[in-house]
Amino acid sequence: MKHLIITVIGKDRPGLVELLSDTVYQNNGNWLSSSLSKLAGQFAGILQVEVASQYIPLLKNALSQINELQIHIVEDDNSNAPATALHNLTVTGNDRPGIVKDVTARLNQLGININKLKTENQSAPNWGYPIFTAHFQLELPQGLELDVVQDSLEQIADDLTVDMDDN
């Protein structure tokens, strides 16, 4: 079995996830995992599908027939990668340009791989000004301690709150 990584984007409407899932199912694919969102009126997502090698051309062709979505497909050649310990990181602060750049630059300097990133911007209760929150799932290099990562991230700015824990 092969794994396909499929990215999709297009104007949001009811039924797009059902259309994708039915297309995968009807063409001998098995939907393994996904992250799908509506952003600014657009439907965007990434999914991982398992399919037997002989059905890959059939599935790719069927997906390409979904005219309302832009679809990009990559065959995963790393489906047997060893499992690594994952850690959760949440960064919260007053919204300002550059928070994601600053945090990801520091993570990169520490040799940390980002598995997942989810961000949101909300109004602070009772204050009304915007609060930015970023939720990361991280793979730390061997020997790097959580407290070292947390201390390094806390040095970025006084108004950032950094919380780390094991997954």
Domains of the chain: 2-76 (3.30.70.260), 86-166 (3.30.70.260)
Cα-based torsion angle of the residue sequence 49, 84, 90, 41 in order, rounded to the nearest 10 degrees? -10
pTM for this structure?
0.82
Phi-psi region of 51 (alpha: psi -120 to 50; beta: other; left: phi over 0): beta
* The pLDDT of residue 27 is above 70: yes
pLDDT at 60: 97
Cα–Cα dist 71/155, whole Å? 40
| Contact (Cβ atoms closer than 8 angstroms) between residue 50 and residue 80 | no
User: Which has more pLDDT, 80 or 138?
Assistant: 138
Write out pLDDT tens, residues 41-65: 999 999 999 999 999 999 999 999 9
| Contact (Cβ atoms closer than 8 angstroms) between residue 53 and residue 21 | no
Cα–Cα dist 67/12, whole Å? 13
